[in-house]
Structure 1
Amino acid sequence: MVSSTLTAVYSASGEGPPGLLPARQQMAFSLGWHIVLACFGIAFPAMIYVVHCRGITRHDPVALGLAKRWATVSAILFAIGAVSGTAVVALAAVTVLPALAYLFWLTQTDEWVRDQTAHRADSSTA
C-alpha cells in the first residue's frame, strides 16, 4: 500500500524529488568515511598494544616511541571518527526520519480515507 502510494507520487514527477541525488551522495560520502575511520579505530589500538608490549618486553625505545606516535594518531582518528559518526546520525535524522514520517502519514491518511469512504457507503445504503 505504501509502495503504491510512493510510486504514484514519484511517477507523477517523472523522477525523484529535487535534491535527492545530492542528498544520497552526501550520505554515501559521510558514511563511507565513517566506515573507514571506524575500521582504523578498531585495528589501530591493537597494533599500538602489540608495539607497546614489544617495546616494554625488549626494552626497545624505538618501539615505545612508535607506540606513542601511533597513540597520538589514533586519538586524532578517533576524534574525526566521532565527528563523522555524528554527521551520519545527523544526516539520517534530517533525511530519513522526515521521509519515514511522511510515509507513515500517507499510510494513515490512506486508511482514514478508506474508512470514511466505507462509512459513507454504509450510511448511504442504510
Structure 2
Amino acid sequence: MIRAEAPSGRPEAAFVLLLLQSLFWLIAGLSAAPFVLGGEIHMAGLVVATLLLALGTCMLAIGVLWRRRRARGMAIALEVVCLFGTAILLLLPIGFNRGPVSLMVNVALPIALIVLLRKDGEAFA
C-alpha cells in the first residue's frame, strides 16, 4: 500500500516571510525618498535600487509559492547574500543598529527562510 505524504506548508510559510522582507525593503526605500526632495540627489539611486529589490523579492515570493525550483534557488542565494552583508555590518564599527529588531530582521528572518527553503522531501517538487 502506497501512502501519500501530507502536502508541506513550507513554501507557503516562506512566501509569507519573503513578503514581509519585501515589505521591509519597500518601507526603507520609501522612507529614503524625502531626502531626495530635500536636495540629496544621490539618494534617488538608492531609493530606486531599494524599491527594485523589494519588487524582486516579491516576485521571488510568488515563484516560491508556485514551487518553482529556480525561484527557490534564487531566494536562498538572496538570503545568503543578506546574511553576508549583515555579518559585515556587525563586524565593522560604522554605526549599524544592533538592537533586537534589527537582529530579527537581518539575521533571524534570512536564517528562517534558508531553513524553510532547504531541499528536504518533496515540498518543491
Structure 1 and Structure 2 fold alike (TM over 0.5): no
- Tell me which interval the TM-score lies in, with the shorter structure as reference length: 0.3 to 0.5
**Which one has a bigger Cα radius of gyration?**
1
Instruction: Report the TM-score, using the length of structure 1 for normalisation.
Output: 0.44
Instruction: Report the TM-score, using the length of structure 2 for normalisation.
Output: 0.44
